[in-house]
Structure 1
Amino acid sequence: MSVYFRILAIVISALTETCAVAAQENGFSKGITLYNQLKIDSAIAELKKEAQSGISESQYYLGEALRKRNRYMTSEAKEWYEAAAAQENLYAMIQLGRSGNDLCKVMSNCPDSGKPPADWLKNARALAEPLAEKGDAEAMYVMYEITLNRDWLEKSANAGNPDAQFWMAIGDKQGEGFLLPWKRKEAVGSWFKASAEGGNPRAMMEYAAYLYENEGDLKVARHWIKVAAEKGYKSGVSSYGAYLAHAPERFGFELDLVKGYAITSLLKDLDGGGNVQVYVEEVLPEIAEKMTSQQIKEAENFAIQWKKSHPPLSFFPDKLSR
């Protein structure tokens, strides 16, 4: 190979890595998108490319994907968690810290480690606690994950962290904390509302259900179902599409077969993740039976435009999975 082509190859490689890092920093990652769609095998292939470019988030999610696929901490998963942890990724440190309770312990095949799990949790705490004490909402949430002290969860929620607010609502709903019965329901609704307003699509759907069951406010409930769908949340998309097509009729949505069919058809993109196709194959023909061929064409065009203007579909799994 000539010197010119060697230099060209180096430049192209550098540009590829730079673009990958820039895309990640701007919230674009094909690997993480596939992971969030529960397409684990496809995600691993993409995440490896990103992780090898040194992107901490992709290294972390690659560790998650490998651990999930194998159902325990493998040597390869640990390697990528450690790579992310070396870049001060707190979530990777926590997963390494939890590896002492992993299934691999039961199977007696945990990867050898130069650092005990407890030390990883100490490292994570040493980084997170000073930030949490200064009022950083995410650091407070990380402190909750490290310590499992609900006080940190509540502090994070009060500081505006949507994930913490969501889990405060779930905890209150399940009877955690010390609340009078008539205050508990109010607290659940308030936390779900705060989390939804903070952009958490799972909270949006929970809050819509809360409004439907407890306050009968269908207008606001419809709003949050629509927003959850616009965020790409699988449950929001499936509910919004079905309710628009009255398959079934709930929450008082005005009948719109074209939009209902179009939005339901978006779920085809989740083929291979979460067993969604069984639902699609059942509901889509049911809606199509009520439509003309022209309406179906309109729906197909609507779906194309929706994809161009909305984020990819996602199950929004917890970032720090168990």
Structure 2
Amino acid sequence: MHSHLSILTTLFNLRDTLSALITRITDQPQEAITKGIVLYNLGEFSQAKSYLTIGATAGDRASQYALAEVIRRQAGSITEEAKNWYRLAGAQDHVYALMRLGDEASLKKAKELAQTEADKGNADAMLELYELNQNIEALRKAADAGSLEGQYILAVKYDKDESLIADSRLRRATIDLLLRNAAEAGFSKAMHWYSNRFPINQNLPLRRQWLEKRAELNDVNGVLDYGLGLCGFYEDDNGVDKEYGFSRNLVKGYGLIWLVVETTAELSRHTTAKQCLEETAKEMTTDQIAAAKTFAQQWKKSHPPMSEYRLAYSDVV
């Protein structure tokens, strides 16, 4: 009896061990997918590549598309390697991957997929149709249907091509309305542009609020600007912040800049952030710096993953 119980105990332990191992193996691709997409959204392409490869190989179409985008960006063109991943994503009906491929069959499939969803009222699909044909009416439909990215891109188009709205006052009011609607709905790029347009850019309390909202989204550039403001980098010779009207808070500001420096490597402003961090440290005690890093870790836990919030497909800025 004792021997029988020992065998059963061993078998149950083995079952539990195998179950835990299977769970861990199953979770690994999903963890890689999540990590890869986060790094991709942050613009940390070199770090993202290995994680995206795991997810892409496991068949995740978002990882396949993102990996192809990384390869394209790093090479400066669509290589055969990138095409292979675009094809795999396109085989799973990823519209933007099909558009990147650009051949007749891929574009036809992309249009059919996008049109089917657009006919159901899908605003993102309407934006895909615009990206396919660059028809301004398609972009207007996407914006009217509630695509925040569509609203932002439409504002860019109106700003760059004055012939689309000949009347300057109407054009300005239309751009402002598009940006305000997208900003109020939480689109970070619209928040940034809207807060830098007259007369908002003259209203420092309101401009500061928009920056704080961007930082709350963990927009990497918003977080950095917020930290720089709190550390006094926008102050004039009289110690007055002329950009946002911030009062100094070195602990919080250092913590935010430190978080950006620690989280990024490929950010275009990384060197600037690092230099500002070193300058700020000269004004702080060891205890203050420790408190700042503690604040940064708390911020990281209580906010979404840091991101550049790039547009899904378009290259407009």
Which runs of 4 or more aligned residues in structure 1 lie more than 3 Å from their structure 2 counterparts after TM superposition?
A: 8-21
Matched, 1:196 2:205: no
Structure 1 residues 198, 171: closer, same or farther in 2, change over 3 A? same
Q: Distance in 1 between matches of 2:104 and 2:185?
A: 33
- State the 1:317 CA deviation: 2.5
Matched, 1:171 2:157: yes
In the other structure, the counterpart of 1:49 is 54
1:4-28 deviations in whole A, cap 9, x for unaligned? Answer: x9xx88995676346645x69xxx7
Aligned to 1:73: 78
Determine the structure 1 residue equivalent to 2:5. none
Which of the numbers 104, 122, 125 marks the counterpart of 1:118?
A: 104
186, 201, 209: which one aligns with 2:196 = 209
Contact 1:17 1:53 in 2 (8 A): no
RMSD of aligned residue pairs (Cα, Å): 2.6
Question: Structure 1: which amino acid aligns with 2:197?
Answer: Y
| Aligned 1:8-87 pairs, distance under 5 A | 12=21, 16-17=25-26, 20-21=29-30, 29-87=34-92
- 2:310 paired residue number: 317
Residue by residue, what CA displacement relative to the aligned partner does 1:42-88 show, whole Å, maximum 9, x if unpaired?
21111010111111101111111111122222222111111111111
Gap change, CA 1:163 and 1:181, over 3 Å in 2: same
Distance between the aligned counterparts of 1:141 and 1:217, measured in 2? 33
TM-score, normalised with respect to structure 1:
0.83
* 1:180 aligned partner: 167
Are residues 1:89 and 2:76 paired? no
Deviation at 1:242, TM superposition (A): 0.9
Q: CA deviation at 1:189?
A: 1.5
Does the 8 Å CA contact 1:202/1:233 hold for their aligned counterparts? no
Alignment of 1:100-139 (within 5 A): 117-139=103-125
Q: Which amino acid aligns with 1:16?
A: I
Kindly tell me: are residues 208 and 11 of structure 1, through their superposed partners in 2, closer, same or farther at Cα, counting changes over 3 Å? same
Deviation at 1:282? Answer: 2.0
Q: Distance in 2 between matches of 1:140 and 1:306?
A: 36
1: CA distance, partners of 2:228 / 2:201 = 22
Q: Which amino acid counterpart does residue 243 of structure 1 have in structure 2?
A: G
Amino acid at match of 2:119: E
Structure 2 gaps of 5+ residues are 1-13, 235-240
Partner secondary structure for residue 51 of structure 1:
helix
Structure 1 unmatched ranges of 5 or more: 98-116
Identity of aligned residues (%): 33
Alignment of 1:255-270 (within 5 A): 255-270=248-263
Farther off after superposition, 292-301 or 65-74: 292-301
Deviates more, 1:32-41 or 1:227-236: 32-41
Cα distance, 1:259–1:154 mapped onto 2, change above 3 Å: same
Larger Rg: 2
C-alpha separation in 1, matches of 2:288 and 2:27: 45
Residues 172 and 273 of structure 1: CA distance in aligned 2, closer, same or farther (over 3 Å): same
Q: Does 1:224 align with 2:210?
A: yes
Partner in structure 1 of residue 238 of structure 2 = none
For residues 118-145 of structure 1, what are the alpha-carbon distances to aligned partners after superposition, in whole Å with 9 as ceiling and x for unaligned?
2211111111113213321001000000
| Alignment CA distance shift 1:15-1:263 (3 Å) | closer
Pair 214,316 (structure 1): closer, same or farther in 2 beyond 3 Å:
closer
Asked whether the equivalents of residues 231 and 310 of structure 1 are also in contact (C-alpha less than 8 Å), the reply is: yes
Instruction: Write the deviation string for residues 235-285 of structure 1: whole angstroms up to 9, x where unpaired.
Output: 201111111222112211232221111111111134421243311232112
Deviations 1:163-213 (A, max 9, x none): 1111112122223412411122212221111111222211111122125x5
C-alpha separation in 2, matches of 1:154 and 1:54: 34
> Does the 8 A contact of 1:160 with 1:198 survive in 2?
no
1:147 partnered with 2:133: yes
3-state SS in 2 of match to 1:29: helix
Distance 1:302 1:215, change over 3 A: closer
Count of residues in Structure 1 that have an aligned counterpart in Structure 2: 295
After superposition, the Cα gap between the structure-2 partners of 1:14 and 1:147, relative to the gap in structure 1 and judged at 3 Å, is: farther
The corresponding residue for 1:281 is: 274
Tell me how far apart the structure 2 counterparts of residues 94 and 269 of structure 1 sit (CA, whole Å): 35
